[in-house]
Structure 1
Amino acid sequence: MTPPPAPKIALVSGGSRGIGAAVVLRLAEDGWDVSFCYRSDEEAARLVEKEATERGARCLPVRADVSDPVQAKSWVARTEDELGPVSAVVANAGITRDRPLVMMSDDDWHQVMDTNLDGVFHTCRAAVFPMLKRRSGRIVTLSSVAGVHGNAGQTNYSAAKAGIIGFTKSLAKEVGPHGIRANVVAPGLIDTDMTDTLPAAARERLLSSIALRRFGTAAEVAALTAFLLSDQASYLTGTVLEAHGGLTL
């Protein structure tokens, strides 16, 4: 008798809202069991857990701040203890503190770098070590078109997101010989709570700069992420896939 396939287990940071929540639910639909972390909104996390479970997945929400290396390491260890060996990581957690550079405080800079860039480092470092021993793994980091092309008023965010690209390309070279792939998704303007607060005039101005004349959806970014984690992307590593609807054309 052929043994059943081993469960597919994924980590998703920042999985209680926006793109992270959409990734959790898409992976659940695709047959993954998912552990996701969140910083503070337990109600939102429980809702995502419920929806993922309804899709047939085992789901483990963990309150953890990935800007803290101890919490990131503990989250990974707890996931392996409770769900099993982690085979995929989606490093998604991120925040914004937008200001012109001359008005940007030290806290504005450090909070964005700590969560967006250091969080990727802490999460991947904790997860990659056991992947190396198993000689298998898949990693997707979430950057942004701001990290590729820059964006006025976001020097902190753009620097962090550009750093994620450099980090991931270097990681892909390090771990590729050990059977681990690492890729980047760089979304453009996506309908999430981060864009919901845009004034109507600003929203219209931004829409006019997008070739497809609409913002993307979190589900579209999740679909691209799920593809990169799938066997269909088995020869992709060190790749940056931009999803921006023609914003930068």
Structure 2
Amino acid sequence: MPISLSLAGRVAVVAGAGRGIGEAVALRLAEAGAAVAVVDSRADRAAGTVAAVRQAGGTAVPIIANLLDASQVDQIVPSATEQLGSVDILVNVAGGSWALAPYRLTHEVTDEEWSLIQAMNLTYVFQLTRSALGDMVQSGGGTIVHVGSIAGVLSSPLAAAYGAAKAGISSLTRTLAYEYGPFGIRVNCIAPGRINTPATAPEPGQQQVDFTGSIPLRRMGVPAEIADAVAFLVSDLASYISGQTLLVDGGATATPGLILGVNGMPPSSDRVGGQA
């Protein structure tokens, strides 16, 4: 039987789908035939993505949730199920660093900053995934993709909390793949390099830092390239792939003597999907 990237008949939840990578993921999964629950903390951003999906002929509904509030996170999967049906796909995109805490040396990081970065990059991922796993076990399978960062694979200077959280996502991915493989559930992680999103634009008055010299492809990536990787991993084309972290970085981590950060900026993808 031919295997394709069709996701027809499947229901996907995308956390942080209001802009950037998350928006691109929602559009790509809908294009492949999935009905998409667009999760974001801001109603205007969620509505924009839903409108774009529907305009392209797809099916999408908005779910407004603050991912820092566990009680709201726990309602995401039930809400998606009520509106669209049993959830087959979960993609955790939301996260970030710069918008949540300033870059600085580790001994200067406060407990509050550490906790916030962990909550926005790792804790909600655990909570939302936990919620989806129960349903997937009952329904006989599913696929989960976490969007991490190459900061979780390499060191993360001036952003220790962010790097630690992203490394935690890769570890969680491997553990979940082992625990839930027997239930027909695949779990993978994508680690983007530098991606050109609204969250990576410089602050007013700041100069744009050029990272392309350390990227073999000599350019930053675009959200659609991460979305394509997500679509592959949740499709039947990746039916024997689980527990993996796929680096989508233009070859940056293959660079000898790698220097991704210059002028005090750390080597993180620093994309924010829906919270900051």
Q: What is the correspondence of 1:81-96 to structure 2 with a 5 Å cutoff?
A: 81-96=82-97
Alignment-mate amino acid for residue 35 of structure 1:
A
User: Which structure 2 segments of 5+ residues have no match?
Assistant: 1-6, 256-276
May I ask how many residue pairs the two structures share in their alignment?
242
- 2:165 aligned with 1:166: no
Q: Distance in 1 between matches of 2:23 and 2:178?
A: 29
For the residue of structure 2 that corresponds to 1:191, the secondary structure is coil
Q: Distance in 2 between matches of 1:56 and 1:31?
A: 10
Q: CA deviation at 1:6?
A: 7.3
Q: Distance in 2 between matches of 1:184 and 1:151?
A: 18
Which of 18, 37, 48 is equivalent to 1:35? Answer: 37
Q: Which residue does the alignment assign to 1:24?
A: 26
| TM-score, with structure 1 as normaliser | 0.93
Contact 2:14 2:26 in 1 (8 A): yes
Which of 8, 11, 23 is equivalent to 2:10? Answer: 8
Which of 121, 124, 131 is equivalent to 2:129? Answer: 124
Q: Distance in 2 between matches of 1:6 and 1:131?
A: 17
Cα deviations by residue, 1:39-67 (Å, 9 ceiling, x for unpaired): 13x22221111001122222111111223
User: Which structure 1 segments of 5+ residues have no match?
Assistant: none
Q: What is the correspondence of 1:23-172 to structure 2 with a 5 Å cutoff?
A: 23-40=25-42, 42-96=43-97, 97=101, 98-172=103-177
For the residue of structure 1 that corresponds to 2:199, the secondary structure is helix
CA distance 1:57–1:181, change in 2 (3 Å): same
The more displaced of 43-52 and 91-100 is 91-100
Q: Which residue does the alignment assign to 2:246?
A: 241
TM superposition outliers: structure 1 runs of 4+ over 4 Å: none
Identity among equivalent pairs (%)? 38
Q: Distance in 2 between matches of 1:131 and 1:6?
A: 17
Flag the structure with more relative contact order, 1 or 2, with Cα contacts below 8 A and sequence separation at least 6.
2
Q: Which residue does the alignment assign to 1:184?
A: 189
Cα deviations by residue, 1:62-112 (Å, 9 ceiling, x for unpaired): 111223222111111011011100000001110212332132222221111
- 2:229 aligned with 1:224: yes
The more displaced of 73-82 and 6-15 is 6-15
